[in-house]
Structure 1
Amino acid sequence: MEWFKVVAFVVCVLPTAHCASDAIVWCYHLPSCNDKTWPTISPQYCNGSRQSPINIVSASATPNNNLTKFTFVKYDDTSAMTSIENTGDTVKVTFKSGVKISGGDLSEQYDSLQFHLHWGNGSSVPGSEHTVDGKRYPMELHIVNSKSSYNGNTSLAVKDSTGLAALGFFIEVREAAHEMI
């Protein structure tokens, strides 16, 4: 039996120069169209120095003494999800209002808006969007959040370099270390 194991997480505070537009089809898996080619496909959105995807280089990582435990509000509420959507590229789950996070090194409480997944097929299609020391994981979960002070106005949040925060969780498949009872 295989179990999914969360192996790491990253908090990415999305900058003002961000990679987002509904008019552009974002591609991941073709040699001529993937995350490395985004800056040439759409330089007005994808040519900044602080944006996804990133490769986390362990040897260059430095501790952040401001980090605290995250507090998750209403994540245990079984009615917290308002919709589940197949976008054609991923599964996107939207939260109702009142689901929130705080802590880490976030400047205030953030409203959790939605989560979505990035996954591969184990061979030709990569899994996680981000990498650690060049390693791509089979799946990555992103929880997208907006500053609570913006009251759900994502247009304002996008203009603020700390207006959106995405929590990313790498998921790895492994054989179970214990027997089923």
Structure 2
Amino acid sequence: MRHFVSIAVVVHAVAADYQWSYDQDVFGGPDFWGLVEKDWWMCKKGRLQSPIDVQASQLLFDSSIKPIRIDKLGVMSELVNTGQMARVRIGNSARKPSVNLTSGPFYGYKYRIQRIDIHMGRGTENGSEHTIDGRRFPMEIQLISFNTDLYANFSMASKSPHGLAAVAILADFGPTTNSELAKLTTAVPSIRFQGN
């Protein structure tokens, strides 16, 4: 049995949901991302949007950045297939506190986790969106969050500066695995059809 072990964290901004593809030859591919929605115009001109290839030789260590803090709270959630990936929808309510990301590179803001997107390959195909030195990984888990200090909801935040952030955890095979991660890797292959 192969196990997953996380190996890297990348932080980046994200856009709202739409039918996207990595295929350059179809509408919805990277060359069209900036045309799909007017609020995503930076995808036509910018160079710092997803997916990114982290060039290890270009990284600079910043000792002033503290580790990211994730609230450790239980939440109601639902695992679904969006047709593109497995997604854990986080249920937020007034009676139950939300799970937030703070510290690290978040400039003092608090970001509420809205959903967790799981990109996982099938068979010998690696599933990560992002790469390190061109290498794609078997799995990527993205914690998608919105800034609750500046915006009332995910929709408002998705169209605004400092509105959304994602922590992308790239996972590789290793000798042991985290028991919670094992639950995801077992459940994801069983949801083959959109809406399941």
Question: The TM-score by the shorter chain falls in which range?
Answer: 0.7 to 0.9
Structure 2, unaligned runs of 5 or more: 93-97, 178-196
Query: Which residue in 2 is equivalent to 1:118?
Result: 119
Distance 1:51 1:117 in 2: 18
1:54 deviation in Å? 0.2
Distance 1:3 1:34 in 2: 36
Structure 1, unaligned runs of 5 or more: none
Query: Which residue in 2 is equivalent to 1:43?
Result: 34
Distance 1:95 1:151 in 2: 18
Correspondent of 1:81 among 45, 56, 76: 76
Query: Which residue in 2 is equivalent to 1:144?
Result: 144
Distance 1:162 1:120 in 2: 30
Contact 1:84 1:93 in 2 (8 A): yes
Contact 2:24 2:30 in 1 (8 A): no
Query: Which residue in 2 is equivalent to 1:129?
Result: 129
Q: Number of aligned pairs?
A: 164
Distance 1:2 1:165 in 2: 31
**Post-superposition CA distance 1:8-66 (Å, at most 9, x none):** 11111x1xxx65453xx3123x463499x412x34333322220000000000112233
1:117 deviation in Å? 0.8
Contact 1:19 1:51 in 2 (8 A): no
Distance 1:59 1:143 in 2: 26
TM-score, scaled to structure 2: 0.73
1:122 deviation in Å? 4.5
Task: Report the residue type matching 1:94 in the other structure.
Answer: R
TM-score, scaled to structure 1: 0.78
In structure 2, relative to structure 1, the CA distance for the partners of 1:52 and 1:70 (3 Å cut) is same
In structure 2, relative to structure 1, the CA distance for the partners of 1:176 and 1:19 (3 Å cut) is closer
Equivalent residue of 1:51, what SS?
A: coil
Task: Report the residue type matching 1:27 in the other structure.
Answer: S
Relative to its length, the structure with more helix (as a share) is 2
Q: What is the percentage of aligned positions where both structures have the same residue?
A: 27
Distance 2:33 2:10 in 1: 25
**Post-superposition CA distance 1:111-141 (Å, at most 9, x none):** 1111011122254x54100000000001100
Equivalent residue of 1:161, what SS?
A: coil
Pairing of 1:159-178 with structure 2 (within 5 A)? 159-176=159-176
In structure 2, relative to structure 1, the CA distance for the partners of 1:63 and 1:159 (3 Å cut) is same
Correspondent of 1:32 among 25, 41, 44: 25
Equivalent residue of 1:43, what SS?
A: helix
**Post-superposition CA distance 1:61-85 (Å, at most 9, x none):** 1122331122211x341xx133221
